[in-house]
Amino acid sequence: MTQQVLVMTSVDTEEEWDWDGPFPESGASVDNVLRLPVFQDLCASYGMRTTYFANLPVIEDPSSRRVIQGLARREDVEVGMHIHPWHTPPLVPFRGSAAMASFLHNHPPEVARAKLEAVHAAFRGAGIVPTSFRGGRYSSGGAIHAFLHERGFVADCSVVPYTTWPDDGAPDFRERDLFPTRVAPPREDLKPLWEIPLSLGFSRRPFRLWARCFDLIEHSALRRLRLIGLAERLGLLRKVWLNFELADPHDWTPFLKLVQRMGVPSVCLTVHSSSLTTGPGPYTRTPEDEKRIFGQIEKVFADIRRLPGFVPATASEVAGHLERRYAGSGN
């Protein structure tokens, strides 16, 4: 019997800016959101179900809000919640670096909750009740999870397996794998929350071993030997992230089949809304970049449609499936 794998297509739906510059506290354009219906038509043509994680500037801007409201009315779309703390009120002084302040989990719990409530209130004002979440810069946990439980969220899609970043105060997911994790509710009257990871792994097993090897090489003098690049060129091993922004023509199909054999119940494809149109972001500087990304998206969608057992789903649909399976297992 073919192992079923749910396929979530996710879009971090947010303002555009030069990621090499400072975090924009105001004034950044959200015009990229106006292009999303074109992207959604592409998703629909391959039967994909899409989750758009929208943040406060997108919901506050009248034009982009209308686009999001229109998408939310579609049967094949879910609109989840996203947050960038640097422009989300309350804007209070932060004791620490700008990099540390960019991760919501580093803020005092009362400030983090107030910021989350500001975004949630804007969603409710737009007639949207989100049940899925992705933290800006993949920040989550702690007071954020407490808020999500209380507001009825069922999916948190912020975990990037085997990964951390050099930025001050960054999340550390190096001990997390591709399997979703159930976060039990603090009270019986609240729903459980499923952490549904993004899909990052390796072309060979065991993933955890290769993750530690890559981490050792990248953070020691061994990086001068360019061992990672050599292994990739020789076809021995490569890191695989199902992120449409990566300039990597490598076929994702073997990785998808590998995680299916491993029994991973879901995979997550991801892209930023700002990367779906030419602009100041790092991945789509030119029309050629935009064409490359859309070409990669269409190729992957076509490949997935041919793979047996891969079923499109939104974030909350994945969480619902996982919870039903968990309940059916007698846990």
In the chain (331 residues long), the average pLDDT of successive 10-residue segments reads: 94 95 93 97 98 98 98 98 98 95 98 98 98 98 98 98 96 98 95 98 95 87 72 78 84 96 98 96 94 95 97 98 92 72
- Taken as a whole, the chain contains a residue count of 331
CA dist., res. 198 & res. 192, Å (int): 19
pLDDT of residue 249: 61
Burial 26-37 (b: 16+ CB within 10 A, else e): eebbbebbebbe
pLDDT of residue 65: 98
CB atoms within 10 A of CB 306: 8
pLDDT of residue 33: 98
Domains of the chain (ranges; CATH) run 5-203+238-328 (3.20.20.370)
Contact 36, 67 (CB under 8 A): yes
Contact 323, 185 (CB under 8 A): no
Strand 266-272 vs strand 310-312: parallel, antiparallel, or unpaired? unpaired
pLDDT of residue 159: 98
pLDDT of residue 226: 77
How far from chain centre, in Å, is Cα 45? Answer: 22
Instruction: Name the residue type at position 85.
Output: P
Q: Given its phi and psi angles, is residue 278 left (phi above 0), alpha (psi -120 to 50 degrees) or beta?
A: beta
The distance between the two most distant Cα atoms of the chain, rounded to a whole number of Å, is: 56
pLDDT of residue 234: 59
The CA distances from residue 16 to 26, 65, 242, in Å, are: 11, 16, 21
Per the DSSP assignment, residues forming a β-bridge with 311 are 6
Instruction: Report the chain's terminal Cα–Cα distance, integer Å.
Output: 24
